[in-house]
Amino acid sequence: MPLYEHVLIARQDLSNTQAEGLIEHFSTVLADNGGKVVENEYWGVRTLAYKINKNRKGHYAFLRSDAPSAAVQEMERLARLHDDVMRVLTIKVEEHKEGPSIQMQKRDERERGDRGDRGDRGERRDRDGDRGDRGERRERRDRDDRN
């Protein structure tokens, strides 16, 4: 069966449990039509790039599925009719990547700290240190001011 990835955006005024209930609802829709959800992730409430139906934020959910196209079409149809779902995006993929999605990896990096595993920046140069041609420009400017 083909492999798909789905992203659902639900209204911001839902509770977390209601948003996760939507994930379960659409997972059962896929299962009832002969497919299965391999993995699902709840990404939480995020700010939208632009307003959708007067909403600035939305609950994001990510599903990885292994389902026939008829099951995916039915799930998309029901999602578009559902009042709480603002947007649905479905992408057909060749294979599912192992581990968490990119969004969940970003969250893990934020929790680790602002530098992560990159280490310290090293010593900083002083203001009069070598910084390219900046010192040369300063000397030229001083020379021009004297003349």
CATH code: domain of residue 73: 3.30.70.60
Full residue range of the structural domain in which residue 91 is found: 3-95
Q: Which residues, in sequence order, are CB contacts of 90 under 8 Å at separation 6+?
A: 4, 5, 6, 72, 76
The model's pLDDT over 86-137, given as tens digits with 9 standing for 90+, comes to: 999 999 988 877 777 777 777 666 666 555 556 666 666 666 655 555 556 6
11 vs 144, more confident: 11
pTM, whole model, 2 decimals?
A: 0.68
- At 99 the pLDDT is 73
Tell me if 129 is assigned to some domain.
Answer: no
> What is the pLDDT, as a whole number, of residue 2?
87
Q: Identify whether 106 is part of a domain.
A: no
Decide if pLDDT at 81 tops 90: yes
pLDDT at 13 over 80: yes
Check the CA dihedral 27-33-37-41 and report its sign: negative
C-alpha span between 11 and 101 (Å, rounded): 22
Of 55, 40, 63, 64, which is closest to residue 86 (Cα–Cα)? 55
Q: How far is CA 19 from CA 11, 26, 42, 56, in A?
A: 9, 11, 8, 16
The per-residue pLDDT for range 42-51, each reduced to its tens digit, is 988 999 999 9
pLDDT of residue 138: 65
Q: Is residue 130 included in any domain, yes or no?
A: no
Task: State how far the Cα of 59 lies from the Cα of 66, in Å rounded to an integer.
Answer: 23
* pLDDT for res 133: 57
In a domain, 114, yes or no: no
- Given a contact cutoff of 8 angstroms between Cβ atoms, the answer to whether 67 and 30 are in contact is yes
Residue 36 domain-assigned (yes or no): yes
Long-range contacts at 98-103 (CB < 8 A, ≥ 24 apart): 100/41, 101/41, 101/62, 103/41, 103/43, 103/60, 103/62
How many domains is the chain built from? 1
